[in-house]
């Protein structure tokens, strides 16, 4: 859902477009408010089980409904992104995960604006994969047999995960 400012949240004046740093942005003519457009931050967790299989979900919600993806979602305000990745994994799959390291940072342009995806490597530490409304189907797959991932950022995250694994081997 894209939110467009029409009125200043500070003083209530109608906003008008102003050229700022090469961009036409809604700005208040009476105070300093500018409706800067910034990307949202999302996380994805490439988490392996003790057998080295990767946990993936079939998305039950948009975007990507019906497609395969890694557990993930938007980072909450004042939330550490790595904690957000573990939280999303637990919420979507019933599995606790340890987040080991950042695998990559990917920029995606969507119809609602920019999105920065922080992809992490991690390990499942407790729980059994359990379907949820956000992930009605899920499972752990051998890396060579991973289903096609719906998001380009997740495909790139998997490539980064594989590259990191090759460096360890």
Domain borders along the chain are: 1-37, 40-168
Which pLDDT value is given to residue 137? 98
Asked if residue 1 has pLDDT above 50, the reply is no
What is the Cβ-side half-sphere exposure of residue 40, based on CA atoms within 13 angstroms? Answer: 16
Question: Which secondary-structure segment (H or E) carries 113?
Answer: strand 113-126
For the stretch 114-144, pLDDT in tens is: 899 999 999 999 999 999 999 999 999 999 9
**Residues of the chain above pLDDT 70, percent:** 96
**Residues of the chain above pLDDT 90, percent:** 82
Strands (E), 8-112: 16-20, 23-27, 40-48, 54-58, 68-69, 72-74, 96-110
User: Could you give the CA distance from residue 137 to residue 139 in angstroms, rounded to a whole number?
Assistant: 7
Domain covering 40-168, topology: Nucleoside Triphosphate Pyrophosphohydrolase (3.90.79)
For the stretch 69-90, pLDDT in tens is: 999 999 998 999 999 999 999 9
In the DSSP assignment, the letter for residue 31 is S
For residue 4, name the pLDDT band (cuts at 50, 70, 90): confident
């Amino acid at each position: 859902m894209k939110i467009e400012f029409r009125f200043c949240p500070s003083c209530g004046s109608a906003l008008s477009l102003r050229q700022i740093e090469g961009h036409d942005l809604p700005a208040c003519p009476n105070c300093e408010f500018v409706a800067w457009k910034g990307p949202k931050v999302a996380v994805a967790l490439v988490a392996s089980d003790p057998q080295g299989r990767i946990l993936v979900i079939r998305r039950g919600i948009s975007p990507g409904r019906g497609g395969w993806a890694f557990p993930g979602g938007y980072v909450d305000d004042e939330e550490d992104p790595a904690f957000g990745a573990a939280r999303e994994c637990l919420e979507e799959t019933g599995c606790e995960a340890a987040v080991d390291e950042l695998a990559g940072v990917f920029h995606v342009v969507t119809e609602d604006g920019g999105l920065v995806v922080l992809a992490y490597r991690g390990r499942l530490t407790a729980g059994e994969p359990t379907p949820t409304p956000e992930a009605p189907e899920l499972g752990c797959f051998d890396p060579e047999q991973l289903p096609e991932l719906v998001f380009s950022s997740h495909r790139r995250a998997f490539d980064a995960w594989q590259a990191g694994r090759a460096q360890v081997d």
